[in-house]
Amino acid sequence: MRTVAVAIGIASLVVAGCASMSTPTDNTARAEMRNAGGQVVGNATFTQVGNAVRVLLEVQGLPPGAKGVHVHAVGKCDGPDFASAGSHFNPQGRQHGALNTQGPHAGDLPNITIAADGKGRLESTTELISLVGGASLVFDADGSAIVIHAAPDDFRTDPTGNSGARIACGVIVRK
């Protein structure tokens, strides 16, 4: 009986996945990541699943090490410093970091680790942002961006987690 239930569950996921590939929906978004020189260094995809958003970030050509990743409050990525992306996405007015008792910001995401070959991948899920509505909607009047920082996030220090300069940025747009 359990084998049948698992098989039905897998079949349902395959059918749902195929259906979502053929028709764009409001529950998916993407961002093309660019470095300070304007070169494409990767992509981020966002998928709303129930109350959570799955974030998949894949990059190449970045310096090795752990790097902070955040959703920022403005959908602009003017180089070279990406200051146009504004501060972290924070519609609830909280402090920065999952380890901060007054936090986290809605835009706080885990660190990405960039390997020696310059490639990195982050896969995470968050219930603090939304692609479909509510106070945590990233598609507000000025949009939102995803930013990779030069240093790792300490998940505590307000307002940025000591994550340093912004080294890559992508405007989040509906898929």
Q: Which residues are known to be catalytic?
A: 70, 72, 88, 96, 105, 108, 149, 166
Candidates 90, 83, 100; CA nearest to 36 is: 83
Q: Are 83 and 147 in contact (CB under 8 A)?
A: no
**Spatial separation of the C-alpha atoms in residues 6 and 32, rounded to whole Å:** 36
Q: Residue 174 phi/psi, 5° resolution?
A: -65, 140
Q: Are 170 and 44 in contact (CB under 8 A)?
A: yes
**Spatial separation of the C-alpha atoms in residues 83 and 26, rounded to whole Å:** 28
Q: Would the CA dihedral through 163, 90, 168, 23 be positive or negative? A: positive
